[in-house]
Amino acid sequence: MRDINRSRMAAGTKSRRATPDELREARNRVKEIDAELRLLELSPETKHGEDRERRYERVLRLRQMREQFTSQYPVLEQHGTNSLVMAAAMTIMSFLACAFCAGGFYFAYNALTYNPGPTSVASSFWSDIQAQNYQDAYSNMLSPTLRGQVTLQQFLSDAQQADTDYGPVIKETLTSQSGDLKTSAKLVYKVTRQKNGGPSVTYDTTLQMAANGNVWNITDFGASIYPTLGGAKAVPASSTPTASPSATP
């Protein structure tokens, strides 16, 4: 409130000009105040400084006042402890944030450089074949070169014709694998088909695979789609199947 009144008075003073009489009176008042200040006697501490004993008494008095204040307001005394706890919490949180970022970078790097391997891609291929999801098998498992040799329509037609003639694929078993399994692989499978609950037929087929960077693709599916393609021969399950090499249709 005092500051507001002072501001109002200053604003009022600035809004008008002082008269010559008021200026003379103010000048005389300044001289009177200066004379009064000269008559005031300074304390010894002001002239010569505070001596050692008085300074020690003042320190003791301030210490006593502080102890009295902290006894009345004990919550304020824990401010330093709270600051230490907060600093420790911030340090731990910063460490956890750095660890989270480092872990995220590590998992992102592994995800980008992850190589599932030829058998994993081949398993996905056979899952699509069993589910009769032939378009996904064609688009995601076959290499671009193989897709250039076999059209999607031809792939779908052969797969559907095999399901009609021999029944859908109900089982496949990996019997052998060769190659360095880093850039190329040759996987031999024994495939079983069954039509409308009738007798099942089995045949051997070979998947030729190659890695393009971290992505494996099938470069030759042999008799995987139609049993008689690639030189394979479908035989009843009770008979001994004859393995034969596969070739791209």
Binning pLDDT at 50, 70 and 90, where does residue 11 land? low
Whether the CB-CB separation of 169 and 134 falls below 8 Å is answered with: no
Residue 61 scores a pLDDT above 80: yes
* Rounded average pLDDT over 46-67: 79
Confidence of residue 80 (pLDDT cuts 50, 70, 90): low
Q: How confident is the model at residue 56 (pLDDT cuts 50, 70, 90)?
A: confident
Superfamily grouping for domain 118-236? NTF2-like; domain 1 (3.10.450.100)
DSSP H or E segment with residue 84: helix 79-113
> Residue 20 class from Cβ within 10 Å (0-12 exposed, 13-18 middle, 19+ buried)?
exposed
Highest-confidence range of 57-61, 146-150, 231-235, by mean pLDDT?
146-150
* pLDDT tens-place string over residues 170-209: 999 999 999 888 889 999 999 999 988 788 889 999 999 9
Structure tokens at 78: 């824990």
Q: At what angle do helices 118-130 and 134-141 cross, to 10 degrees?
A: 160
Q: Is 174 helix (H, G, I), strand (E, B) or coil?
A: strand
Looking at per-residue pLDDT, the higher value among 41 and 35 belongs to: 35
Compute the residue count for the chain: 249
Q: Which two three-digit tokens encode residue 193?
A: 């088909």
The token pair that represents 222 in the structure block:
């042999």
pLDDT > 80? residue 19: yes
Tell me the percentage of the chain whose pLDDT exceeds 70.
Answer: 72
Q: Please indicate, yes or no, whether the overall pTM of this predicted structure exceeds 0.75.
A: no
